[in-house]
A and B are shown apart, each in its own frame.
Chain A
């Protein structure tokens, strides 16, 4: 079977429930490896995957939980053009097991349980020891442990709650994308409602959300509704986030330029970056506590290749275009400018992660524009 050029093929293993379902419901049995032949990666993909056609889809043979459905018709040049050579199929493994705790998460929870058990047993034995010496002391110690325990649990629950709030935003973004593809206004309003509730932060945002909710009654199509939501509710938040990023850029540039020690530089930069991340997250309705901020920082680090590449490009540009000016300006000032540029990258990335909606193509703020806006107030 030739794999069409536009096919998206999922590399599944035999234990995957989706593959098992696909195999049970496939119209033809999956061919096995011929004896004596070594299976190549491409032939294994070919063996394990199945390309569904329009007829399969119409006949209901496509499994309901299929991750990918290919729609080919008789007019597709890919199907009829048999002269094309089979392309190299490269796929990335897809985690089809859905959301849940990864192995690191499970390890962390297990370790936390062990530590908590050890600490608790130590506390209990201490309280009992104190109680055996004096009842008053024992009761006081027990009360302190209870109060401390309640405070700890409350703090942990708050962290988990805030973490979950941030994770839900990812789900909401996916839901919005799905509804825009298939659903109508009612479905979209249902998905936007929790977002609107989250964004009632201050008087200005409450006014914007209320205005949007009134206008939504008079908008019929989901595309127009989405546009109005973005223009009236999200756009003002973007302006605030850009302003915070601009402030952070200026402060980072000055701090790094003035600070003589590299270690102190890094520490101040890191703290300022964390502060920026939290403030941007708050603008978009999150309430990042420690766990939430760690999550955000982790995701920022994962995406940091973008910042690194961007920073390198700016450095090269600065060297090539303004070598005379840079030579004139002191090294500290140049480092400050670079730190500012990197802080701008962090701000933009945080906006992308925290924003309830994905930026439209070309809609993400430009680093250069934010830097110009930041400098406009200074110069």
Chain B
């Protein structure tokens, strides 16, 4: 029987920092490869459940200009002894898998339906979520961005880490010509502030994204900029002044990394999944949770609106926002996690082309549920521990917590190490809702 080739589907996988993009992509590829021989691992993917999945292969590297996603290294890290999580996504990478499946072709007028074999190539594009945060910069000029960033740096928990940078800014004169090393020093202090916000406060809405996760970015002079207070008389802050130089560099960055680079990638992506570590944000506190919420909303709003599609000539018609690490909570709380994420995504005006869905997933299940003395607990190996621990998971609200709720309760969700994976287990990796996510993203292309 001749195999019909379908058009390549480009699936973008991104997420905020430490959301689990690498593990997700590794688990997705491995489980798809095993789904043909062990379909029970993916019951919610209809093509697998209906036994129509014939085989999945991964294209070997040939002449790609973009690094190949290191799936073998990642799997080996999780199947080593002791197992550990793979390294985080630092730059863009991609990999192409081919799914062969059968579907019934409906007879047009008469005759019987005929089963036909198809092959669907899927190009998985993995890129850091920090770079996605740069997209809103497209609509912000330097003055607006500076005012917004400096204002945020002076408030809340961020103020603890922005002192040195803001103090240095006060010594600068924006209307004067820039002195040697001034811009670089300001840039370095600003980068240190951003990194502290990420490491200490677990914040995500940190712009520009490449200051936090440089990837393959060249550390050229055009990158040495940071927000500056708007001068009282902008006429005196033109070319040749410090302010003018910073503004020019900001515009160059926007042109190269926000517009040009992302245009190239987003113009090809058809479906997008955005991974979010809600549990981590809840554990980090109110500011981190609000920061994550703002980031997700701005990102989703970008995908929802027509102007984005017209700007990038893209046809992203499905977006899935997924809360990761849902194996860290027990049964019914997974529904709560989904509801909470839905509230975050829902609270924005109706968009246009993109359809956005939410769900809770876990790429690699590293815990199990147990009932002890009538109390449901999650059992797993906490990071740094040798033995398993049983943890009572706090109640997750189904709506974003209010200020009173933050004052009353403190969330604390532990982090777990992976369980040892069998070396190239043909039954696939235990997961939660990975098949459901795939069914939403590519199910229609697989004849469902």
Contact = CB atoms under 8 A, between A and B. Distances in A.
A228 interface: yes
A228 B334 contact: no
Nearest to B435: A218
Contact of A215 (B40, B432, B436): B40
B430 A218 contact: yes
B220 interface: no
A215 B50 CA distance: 12
B331 A185 contact: yes
Interface residues of A, number: 18
Interface residues of B, number: 21
B324 to A, nearest CB: 13
B331 A218 contact: no
Given A215-B49, A220-B433, A224-B436, A184 B44 contact: no
B28 to A, nearest CB: 15
Contact of B331 (A220, A224, A232): A220
B41 A218 contact: yes
A220 B362 CA distance: 10
A186 interface: yes
A133 interface: no
Given A183-B332, A184-B331, A186-B331, A221 B40 contact: no
A219 B331 contact: no
Given A218-B430, A220-B326, A228 B331 contact: no
B331 A214 contact: no
A215 B43 CA distance: 6
Contacts of B435: 218
Contact of B44 (A186, A211, A217, A224): A224
Nearest to A184: B331
Contacts of B76: none
Contacts of A217: 40
A228 B369 contact: no
A218 B40 contact: yes
Interface string B178-199: 0000000000000000000000
A220 B430 CA distance: 11
A184 B330 contact: yes
Contacts of A228: 43-44, 49
Interface string B306-344: 000000000000000000001000111011000000000
Interface in A217-261: 217-224, 228, 232
B43 A220 contact: no
A221 B42 contact: no
B47 to A, nearest CB: 14
User: Which one of A185, A215, A221 has the greatest number of beta carbons of chain B within 10 Å?
Assistant: A221
A218 B330 contact: no
B44 A219 contact: yes
A377 to B, nearest CB: 17
Q: Interface on chain A toward B: helix, strand, loop, or mixed SS?
A: helix
Interface string A79-121: 0000000000000000000000000000000000000000000
A185 B331 CA distance: 6
Nearest to A216: B43
A218 B334 contact: no
Contact of B43 (A183, A218, A222, A223): A218
A221 B334 contact: yes
Interface string B354-369: 0000000010000001
B328 to A, nearest CB: 12
Contacts of B40: 211, 214-215, 217-218
Nearest to B371: A186
Contacts of B436: 224
Nearest to B333: A184
A221 B43 contact: no
Contacts of B326: 220
A186 B331 CA distance: 8
A221 B369 contact: no
Nearest to A220: B432
A220 B334 contact: yes
B312 to A, nearest CB: 34
A211 B335 CA distance: 25
A228 B334 CA distance: 18
Nearest to B40: A214
Nearest to B330: A184
B335 A221 contact: yes
Contacts of B41: 218
Given A184-B331, A224-B436, A219 B43 contact: yes
A34 B326 CA distance: 60
A233 to B, nearest CB: 12
B233 to A, nearest CB: 51
Interface string A153-197: 000000000000000000000000000001111100000000000
Nearest to B434: A218
Nearest to B46: A231
The 9 closest A-B pairs by CB, nearest first: A184-B331, A215-B43, A184-B332, A220-B432, A214-B40, A185-B331, A215-B40, A218-B41, A218-B43
8 contacts: A185-B331, A218-B41, A218-B430, A218-B435, A220-B331, A220-B433, A221-B433, A228-B49
Interface of B: 40-44, 49, 326, 330-332, 334-335, 362, 369, 371, 430-433, 435-436
Given A215-B40, A220-B432, A223-B335, 14 more contacts: A184-B332, A184-B335, A185-B331, A214-B40, A215-B43, A217-B40, A218-B41, A218-B430, A219-B43, A220-B362, A220-B433, A221-B335, A221-B433, A228-B44
